[in-house]
Amino acid sequence: MTSIGVFALQGDVREHLQALTRLGVDAFGVRRPEELDRCDGLILPGGESTTMYKLARTFDLLEPLRKRVHEGMPTFGTCAGMIMLADRIRDGIEGQETVGGLDITVRRNAFGRQVDSFETELDFAGLEDSVHAVFIRAPWVEEAGDDVEVLARVHGGEADGRIVAVRQRNIMATSFHPEVSGDDRLHRRFVEITAQS
């Protein structure tokens, strides 16, 4: 059985675990390096990216995370998780660190503050029906490397054309929160990526 961990020091842990459990995956929270060692794949959830990296460092998880991701462990970042996977950040706090591994530049809180949160439908590469996307203090991708596949963009409004979902090899990331919509298709895709790696 595929084992997928969810970074559990901060963020939307429970919702991701529920989605993975519905898909029949061995799903568990990751707080320590020995739990990370059990992972075939890992989800970095939405939350607060600055708190996440500080806690990861405090719990001696940041360097093991970097090592596993750079060695090719399938990883799925949502919202703050996308920021954690980005190689470059705009509007980060001074000294903010990431796990890295994804050749993108993200802008933190690009869509605005909590009051600017919104929901929309997105066309998502490889899916017939649109994805209902929930954006909460979300980042967007300002630059994507040549090896990065763009999976979804926002349509309409001031953010028209902004990149909000990407994949590079075994790493997938979204600006939005697929774990809160009840639609498990993106988690299913990540489970497939993990099973094939």
Residues labelled catalytic: 79, 177, 179
Q: Which of 37, 64, 17, 8 is nearest to 187 (CA)?
A: 17
The SS3 assignment for 32 reads: coil
Tokens for 78? 């949502």
CB 138 within 8 A of CB 91: no
The SS3 assignment for 97 reads: coil
Q: Which of 142, 143, 119 is nearest to 130 (CA)?
A: 119
Report strand pairing: 75-78 vs 41-44: parallel
Tokens for 13? 């842990």
